[in-house]
Amino acid sequence: MFPMLTLLSMFYYICLRRRCRSGSRGESLGGRRALVDLGQRSTLPVTVEVEQYAKEVLDFSSHYGSENSMSYTMWNLAGVPNVYPSSGDFTQTAVFRTYGRWWDQCVSSPAQIRRTPPSFHSRDFLELAFEEQVYPTAVEVLETYHPGAVVQILACSLNPFTQNPPADVRWEVLWSGEPTKAMNPQARQFSPTIRPINFPTNLLRLEVNSSMLEYYTELDAVVLRGVRERPILALYKMPMIDISDLSDGEEDLSETGGALCCRSAAADHKHSLGNGYFDKLPYELIQVIISHLAVPDLCRLGQCCKLLQQHCSDPLQYVQLSLQPYWSRLNDASLAHLQPRCTLLQRLNMSWCGNRGAVTAAGFCSFIRSCGMSLVCLELSCCHFLNEMCLEVICATCPRLQELDLSSCDRLQPQAFTHIAKLAHLQRLILYRTKIEQTAMLNILTFCIELKHLNLGSCVMIEDYDVVVSLLAARCRGLVSLDLWRCRNLSERGLAELVAGCAGLEELDLGWCSSLHSSSGCIQLLCRRLKRLRKLFLTANRTVCDNDLEQLAANCPSLEHLDILGTRMVSPAAVRRLLQSCPRLRLLDVSFCSQLDTRTVQELTNLFPNISIKKSFTQ
């Protein structure tokens, strides 16, 4: 009994010493007295809550809209609400590029990198700047259509409008949750209970996951509520004591008496003789066990003993590495720490990482030079530290690279893309929302003839898509998927050359390609040539007609996803014949098709329950 009391007394003493170091002298000696004094004050300062809407949209991963307009773009989130409290599909809202699990089911979807923690749900993000820094008390997201996509809200210590940014930029999670599906698609004000933070902020980040939703989620505005002064009670918050770090040095142990010190030394000597049962397990079995750990847990486990350090540093544990879930903590030092472990690295995901100076171009290049020889997949979506030197190093160091994702790297200068032509074995290239120009694209197509998946969605700086697709058809005949979302200058001639040269296409996205006219017969030709077609998006092409659907029904039995949103010339009878002829069809979007009213869609849904037929509405 008495030895136990002695140990507890010593533990309490060490805790007090730790608290004395972490807080001020007055707090450590009189934290309780400070609260009493606070309660005896006759008056307290009046705290005024500030309410503000977003001033500016700083960054985002994707949006449904065009780079040259405001309809369905993330920029609609700046300012006061445009739509709320109305519900429905409105062009004045912010809409992300995808929803549901449809895009994950496509052949163009890359395989997920192993060791991505199951707690990481985020698929898209957006960052908003507000006028004034405050200590947040509430965040309100005004969702006007299919709510439930927000899975995380974060606050940043950086003031984006300052001329002298701090060296240390911190991100703190205000709220996090799992993907949900709201009971109905009506508008709502989402205001979760947020955690207090110890710094003022005017920079918020919303991360979303729309995989559970039936249709595109639409956001109208974001409200930040907060106070200018730090909440008083937060100043007297009890410091958290890490039980694994009770002793800082010899001074602590010497003042607590020799018993604990001797006992710890004896215990350390006893355990240093071996590693328990781990010594008896085969090396390969331990490798399999620890392969289920996330990267931070793997690094922590390596600090336990020399045996586990050897296992946790084995390059075989880092053949696939996803750093995207840790974007807020990754920096040059992190890459330098991982560098000796990643000599066999084959698949690397650094999407969203390194922005605002956390990772430098020099730090990234050093990592790639050391670890890039075996790389076959590299995902760098929204990595704004990238420059021409980075792409030059990638293309010179990674001769085996087959997959490269640069989506939404919209600050990468056009001349940087010319280096991609050196990657002769490239099979998947994602350039969505980049500034690639026509000359660089033609150069890539000339030398990267093994391309199977190409995404040029919203690449507004390509002047003539007919020239691009003509060379694509001549050089990349094994192409499987092509995304030309919002490529406005593709003509019927270019489309005819494309389908003649790339007859094996299984996915083709021609959404919002307004220069294509069905009356020329280009869509019917497409249907006759692309027999393997599984996904076809003709979004917002007003000229799609019954003859086009009849050709689809007759020639494309493998069709799974079809989007004909916005056409005025498709009849219910033609749609029914299509549904009968395409047994694999799972998604059909007929929103804003004037001849297909809600009653007709409901009848078709009842007749074909295995097909998800989409029909958006506006109040």
Domain assignment of residue 277, yes or no: no
Band of residue 167 on the pLDDT scale cut at 50, 70, 90: confident
Q: Express each pLDDT in 61-72 by its tens digit.
A: 999 999 989 999
Residue 37 domain-assigned?
no
Asked whether residue 267 carries a pLDDT value surpassing 60, the answer given is no
- Flag whether 64 is in a domain: yes
Domain ends where: 227, 247, 268?
A: 227
Give the pLDDT of residue 39: 44
pLDDT at 263 over 60: no
Let me know if residue 239 belongs to a domain: no
Beta-sheet pairing, 56-60 with 124-145? antiparallel
User: Of 80-94, 279-293, 310-324, which range is least confident?
Assistant: 279-293
60 beta partners: 126
Do residues 433 and 500 share a domain?
Answer: no
pLDDT at 318: 96
pLDDT tops 70 at residue 146: yes
Are 319 and 355 found together in one domain? Answer: yes
Q: Is the pLDDT of residue 230 over 60?
A: yes
Buried b (16+ CB within 10 A) or exposed e, 548-578: bbbbbbebbeebbbbbbbbbebbebebbbbb
Residue 236 is classified by DSSP as: T
Residues 449 and 303 in one domain: yes
Structural domain contains residue 473: yes
**Same domain for 315 and 166?**
no
Please report whether residue 215 resides in a domain. yes
Of 227, 259, 285, the one marking the end of a domain is 227
| Lowest mean per-residue pLDDT among 7-21, 377-391, 424-438, 565-579 | 7-21
d(CA 339, CA 372): 10
Cα separation of 469 and 432, whole Å?
16
pLDDT averaged over the chain?
88
- Same-domain check for residues 449 and 468: no
Same domain for 495 and 408? no
Please choose, from the candidates 541, 568, 563, 542, the residue with its C-alpha nearest in 3D space to the C-alpha of residue 552: 563
Q: Residue 302: pLDDT above 80?
A: yes
Same domain, yes or no, for 118 and 173? yes
How far apart are alpha carbons 549 and 537 in whole angstroms? 13
Question: Of the candidates 227, 242, 261, which is a domain's last residue?
Answer: 227
371 with 473, same domain: the answer is no
For the cut 70, the answer to whether the pLDDT of residue 120 exceeds it is yes
Place of tokens 């040059």: 332
Confidence of residue 164 (pLDDT cuts 50, 70, 90): confident
What is the per-residue burial (b if ≥16 Cβ within 10 Å, else e) of 140-156? bbbbbbbbbbbbbbbbb
pLDDT at 568 over 70: yes
The more confident residue out of 34 and 301 is 301
CA atoms within 13 A on the CB side of 162: 14
- Claim to verify: residue 308 and residue 438 sit in the same structural domain: yes
Token couple for 572: 């219910």
CATH of the domain at 362: 3.80.10.10
For residue 158, the domain's CATH number is: 2.60.120.260
Structural domain contains residue 551: yes
Q: d(Cα 574, Cα 577) in Å, to the nearest integer? A: 5
**Closest C-alpha to 407, from 347, 453, 470, 364:** 453
Secondary structure (H, E, C), 19-88? HHHHCCHHHHHHHHHHHHHHHHCCCCCCCCEEEEECCEEEEECCCCCCCCCCCCCHHHHCCCCCCCCCCE
Confidence of residue 249 (pLDDT cuts 50, 70, 90): very low
CA neighbor of 456 nearest in space, from 486, 491, 479, 477: 486
pLDDT of residue 222 exceeding 50, the answer is yes
CA 176 to CA 82: how far, in whole Å?
26
Q: Is 462 helix (H, G, I), strand (E, B) or coil?
A: coil
- Highest mean pLDDT among 5-9, 225-229, 256-260 belongs to 225-229
Pair 562, 539: CB distance under 8 Å: no
pLDDT of amino acid 32: 39
pLDDT at residue 274, rounded to an integer:
61
Asked if residue 286 is part of any domain, the answer here is no
Task: Provide mean pLDDT across the span 462-474.
Answer: 97
The DSSP-derived string for 355-386 is TTTTS-HHHHHHHHHHH-TT--EEE-TT-TT-
| 473 and 436 in a common domain | no
**Percent above pLDDT 90 for the chain:** 79
Distance CA 353, CA 385 (A): 9
Considering the domain architecture, whether residues 471 and 444 belong to the same structural domain is answered as: no
What is the structure's pLDDT at 5?
39
Q: Where are the alpha helices (DSSP H) in 522-614?
A: 522-529, 546-555, 572-581, 598-607
- 361-371 and 388-397 helices cross at what angle (nearest 10)? 0
Does residue 147 have a cis peptide bond before it, meaning omega lies within 30 degrees of 0?
no
Q: Are residues 400 and 321 located together in one domain of the fold?
A: yes
Dihedral sign (CA 583, 587, 593, 595): positive
Question: How many Å apart are CA 194 and CA 140, to the nearest integer?
Answer: 10
pLDDT at 412: 97
245 pLDDT exceeds 50? no
Average pLDDT over residues 470-478: 97
Question: CB count, 10 Å around CB of 51?
Answer: 12
CB contact at 8 A, 210 and 123: yes
List the one residue out of 596, 598, 589, 595 whose CA is nearest residue 617: 598
- 490-516 average pLDDT score: 97
Range of the domain at 591: 463-618
> How many domains is the chain built from?
3
HSE (side-chain half, CA atoms, 13 Å) at 480: 11
Residue 30, pLDDT > 70, answer no
Per-residue pLDDT averaged across 363-379, rounded? 98
Cβ 224 vs Cβ 204: under 8 Å: yes
**pLDDT at 17 exceeding the cut of 70:** no
Over the stretch 382-441, which tens digit does the pLDDT of each residue have? Answer: 999 999 999 999 999 999 999 999 999 999 999 999 999 999 999 999 999 999 999 999
Instruction: Tell me, rounded to whole angstroms, the distance of Cα 2 from its chain centroid.
Output: 56
- Confidence class of residue 347 from pLDDT cuts 50, 70 and 90? very high
**How many Cβ atoms sit within 10 Å of the Cβ of residue 4?**
8
Task: Say whether pLDDT at 235 is over 80.
Answer: no
88-92, 223-227, 228-232: least confidently modelled range: 228-232
Task: Specify the pLDDT at position 20.
Answer: 46
Is residue 202 within 8 Å of residue 135, measured between CB atoms?
no
Q: What is the pLDDT of residue 619?
A: 66
Q: What is the mean pLDDT of residues 294-300?
A: 90
